[in-house]
Amino acid sequence: MLPRCAFSVCHVLMLVLCLSAAEDFDWTKNDHGSFYYGTFPAGFSWGAGSSAYQTEGAWDKDGKGLSIWDVFSHKKGKIQQNETGDSSCEGYYKVKDDVSLIKELKLNHYRFSISWPRLLPTGIKSDHINEKGIQHYDQLIDHLLENKITPIVTLYHWDLPQVLQEKYGGWQNISMVNHFNEFANLCFERFGNRVKYWITFNNPWSVAVEGYETGEHAPGLKLRGTGAYRAAHHIIKAHAKVWHTYDTQWRAKQKGLVGISLSGDWGEPVDISNQKDIEAAERYVQFYLGWFATPIFHGDYPQVMKDFIGKKSVQQGLGTSRLPTFSPQEKSYIKGTCDFLGVGHFTTRYITQKNNPSSRSSSSYFSDRDLAELVDPRWPDPGSEWLYSVPWGFRRLLNFVKTQYGNPMIYVTENGVSEKMLCTELCDDWRIQYYKDYINEMLKAIKDGVNVKGYTAWSLLDKFEWDEGYSERFGLYYVDFRNKNKPRYPKASVQFYKRIISSNGFPNQREVENWRRKAVETCSSSNQLLAAATRKSKEHAELPKVWPVHDEV
């Protein structure tokens, strides 16, 4: 709470201090533990998110083509337990059910992605348009709007049509720019009368680094030192082209906005009095969020990326930098192609300077940065190995965006925490804590003057978590994947998030503590339902032992 200043003549000086503190809102900047009670600006948009491959299932139904994730997940050894998104949450068949959950939460917006190969089975518009795929998204959009929920639509959440990967090498090839533009144009044409918020790419960092550098994600290529930079280069150009297409052909009629969703961890110097650590932490963020944001807001890659990759490329005896360059025309074409910035944020790292050897064989995106990442073992990490809860990093990242890119309009497009698969506990107190603290840091950032217009909890449902399969659960709603019907159960965090939404923030300590207590109390009935269902499905699981005997008879 802001300290109260009791007015009296001799307290004038203190009052002035209080007022200026409220203005700058810097009173908690170095106090990580403090909680700020207050509300969000009127009209702030609350939401939750999902993506097509992670939730839809129906991977080969109704004329859908293959995506690189269908193919990748079917290869042995790529995904934990060799799981796939073949059926996932069966979201394709559960549009009405899922919109009911969104309604139950009283969300203002819902973020989902369109599967490119569901609309264009080969990825190429002139080959074939799958009208059944169009109908699916028509139904979802209409149903959301009937319920006064604003759709925020991502055009690329990682599921590239497999044909484009096989024919052209996917994002290694410049021809993706035109193919993606045709797909986006089709979406604007068919859905743009109803969809007013478009996100071109979700987390291109992951596409580039995990898809084309480390190979942990589809398409699984390990083109170390060059693959990620090349993929990112084409993605940035594709984003810009789609923005221009919307701007010149659709904006006047449809009056929507086109942005991109960038992910970024915050990087904090290990030693804030050490210049080398300060620079290394800055490099960490520039190589992450800045890699994409700087061209889009300023027209070119961050200077530090050009310097470091350029210098290492020379040391490796290469004639040119492994980081591609934009021509002057491209720079001005790319600069300013963002009506709002989507920010996906989950965690923070401590960063220290570390020189890496620059031999040609060891070249990689990671070694180009000359830094080491550290974590504080006291940070909570209930689920994913990489996801430590460090709320204060969120406020710093948002302030970084504000100062670096001219205070753009921001929608937080992803933020949340996971738990392990085996955790069938619906009373997810740790998620309540995570949301409470991260959302509070976002509120502080807004008080700092950061222009955040909306927040998207990640994710609505438990779902396919890429190479981790179903082993990590991010959902507000638990999904029972062992049951063919994929029933959804609310976790306690549903109740808590709902309260934040209905109060548009955090009214006071007593109330917020009350929400938490009530949320944890009410989830015990859902826990019982789930436990009963689990017992039942265990009984069913024993049935096959009996069947062969009947067969023999």
Contact 459, 474 (CB under 8 A): yes
Q: For the window 297-336, what string marks contact with ligand NOJ as x by the rule CB under 6 A?
A: ----------------------------------------
Q: Are 64 and 472 in contact (CB under 8 A)?
A: no
Instruction: Choose between 192 and 290: whose C-beta lies nearer to ligand NOJ.
Output: 290
Shortest Å distance, C-beta 262 to ligand NOJ: 10
**Which 99-158 positions form the footprint of ligand NOJ (CB under 6 A)?**
none
Q: What is the C-alpha separation between 60 and 86, in angstroms, rounded?
A: 8
Q: Of 185 and 203, which CB lies nearer to ligand NOJ in the complex structure?
A: 203
Comparing CB distances to ligand NOJ, the nearer of 45 and 50 is: 50
Q: Which 257-296 residues touch ligand NOJ, going by CB under 6 A? A: 263
Tell the smallest beta-carbon distance from residue 332 to ligand NOJ (Å): 30
Nearer to ligand NOJ, 157 or 298 (CB): 157
Element (H, E) at 420: strand 419-420
Residue 48's closest CA among 149, 180, 136? Answer: 149
For ligand NOJ, the closer of residues 214 and 321 by Cβ is 214
Site pattern 186..205 for ligand NOJ (x: CB under 6 A): ----------------xx--
> Any idea which residue has 């980081």 for tokens?
323
Residue whose CB is less far from ligand NOJ, 158 or 506 = 158
To the nearest whole angstrom, how small is the minimum distance from the Cβ of residue 384 to ligand NOJ?
Answer: 6
Enumerate residues 6+ apart whose C-beta is below 8 A from 66: 59, 60, 117, 161, 162, 163
Tell the smallest beta-carbon distance from residue 89 to ligand NOJ (Å): 13
Question: In this structure, what token pair is assigned to residue 130?
Answer: 């799958």
Q: 91's torsion region: left (phi>0), alpha (psi -120 to 50) or beta?
A: alpha
Quickly count: other Cβ atoms within 10 Å of residue 168's Cβ. Answer: 15
If binding is defined by CB under 6 A, does position 211 make contact with ligand NOJ?
no
Reduced 3-state DSSP string for 110-148: EEEECCHHHHCCCCCCCCCCCHHHHHHHHHHHHHHHHCC
Answer yes or no whether residue 51 interacts with ligand NOJ by CB under 6 A: yes
Dmax (CA) for the chain in angstroms is 98
The footprint of ligand NOJ on residues 468-487 (CB under 6 A) is 474
Question: How many amino acids of this chain bind ligand NOJ (CB under 6 A)?
Answer: 9
Q: Which residues in the 58-97 window bind ligand NOJ by CB under 6 A?
A: none
Strand order of the sheet with strand 266-269? 266-269, 348-353, 371-374
DSSP E strand stretches across 208-292: 257-263, 266-269
Given a contact cutoff of 8 angstroms between Cβ atoms, the answer to whether 264 and 346 are in contact is: no
Q: In the complex, which residue's CB is closest to ligand NOJ?
A: 203
Rounded-to-integer distance, Cα 131 and Cα 134, Å: 5
Answer for which of 342, 465, 500, 519 binds ligand NOJ (CB under 6 A) is 465
Q: What angle do CA 302, 305, 306 make, to 5 degrees?
A: 90
Helix (H) or strand (E) holding 455: strand 452-457
Residue 414 annotated to the active site = yes
- Using the minimum distance from each CB to ligand NOJ, give the nearer residue, 56 or 414: 414
Place of tokens 């006071």: 508
3-class secondary structure for 164-211? HHHHHCHHHCCCHHHHHHHHHHHHHHHHCCCCCEEEEEECHHHHHHHH
Is there binding between residue 462 and ligand NOJ (CB under 6 A)? Answer: no
Min. distance of Cβ 541 from ligand NOJ in angstroms? 28
Q: How far is the CB of 202 from ligand NOJ (least distance, A)?
A: 5
Considering beta carbons, is residue 210 or 441 the nearer one to ligand NOJ? 210
Q: Which is nearer to ligand NOJ, 156 or 497 (CB)?
A: 156
Q: Closer CB to ligand NOJ, residue 236 or residue 460?
A: 460
User: Cα Rg for the chain, rounded, in angstroms?
Assistant: 24
Least distance (Å) from ligand NOJ to the CB of residue 184?
19
Q: Which residues, numbered 384-423, are part of the site for ligand NOJ (CB under 6 A)?
A: 414
* Alpha-carbon 83 to chain mean position: 21
Answer whether the bond into residue 219 is a cis peptide, omega within 30°: yes
- Closest approach, Cβ 406 to ligand NOJ, in A, equals 25
Q: Which two tokens stand for residue 385?
A: 């190995």
Minimum CB distance to ligand NOJ, residue 290 (Å): 18
Minimum separation from the CB atom of position 55 to ligand NOJ (A): 10
Q: Which of 161, 219, 344, 383 binds ligand NOJ (CB under 6 A)?
A: 344
Q: Which of 83, 282, 373, 414 is catalytic?
A: 414
* Residue ranges in 26-45 that form contacts with ligand NOJ under rule CB under 6 A: none
The site for ligand NOJ (CB under 6 A) is made up of: 51, 54, 202-203, 263, 344, 414, 465, 474
Active site residues: 414
